[in-house]
Copies of this chain bind each other. A is one copy, B any other.
Amino acid sequence: MDTSRILILFTSKDGNTAQMAELVEEGAASVPDTEVRRLRTSDASIDDLYWADGVACGSPTNLGILSWEMKRWWDVVALDAWAKIDGKIGCAFSSEGGLGGGAELACQSMMTVMQNFGMLTFGVTDYVSKGYTLHYGATAARAPRDERDRESCRRLGRRLAEFVGCYVHGRRDLHPNNAAYPRFP
């Protein structure tokens, strides 16, 4: 069986998005036969992008969209991969300065970038607790301290690994509709 390869690519200023990235990794790694690279943009090369089947892209919410450092990575470092990575699967996560601060829009901006590269992007229908979801990616106000924030990040990583396993590697048992864990508590 082919291993699913997940790149968790992020920038972080205050460490909040970095903490989210660790949790996204936890979630992805909870799916058997998944290999994860968790990298800051400063440490990630275009080869990491080629390597990956799926990408979780994370940035602080800076003015309602992704950080300039993350944008620079895609504009400059990743540019040669354009038209070569169609069909990879992508999702997003973001830490905002406060609730209502634009994290959903920041996730949308990262998905817009990945769609431009021909990637398939998704959010997650699941609720991680009553009144708490990640429909357009995992979001947190500042650090993911609350257990719901933490589970939201894990669920994003898990879903990414599931979709990659299911669609890229034909492991139909990983389809979210077959999930053994409670998706709607």
Contact = CB atoms under 8 A, between A and B. Distances in A.
Interface of A: 62-69, 71-72, 74-76, 82-84, 86-87, 89, 97-105, 108-109, 112-113, 115-125, 127, 130-136, 138-139, 141-142, 148, 152, 163, 166-168, 170, 175-177, 183-184
B109 A176 contact: no
B102 A105 contact: no
How many copies of this chain does one complex carry? 4
A116 to B, nearest CB: 4
A105 B112 contact: yes
A177 to B, nearest CB: 6
A123 B86 CA distance: 10
B120 A121 contact: yes
Contacts of A170: 170
A64 B132 contact: no
B132 A98 contact: yes
A89 B176 contact: no
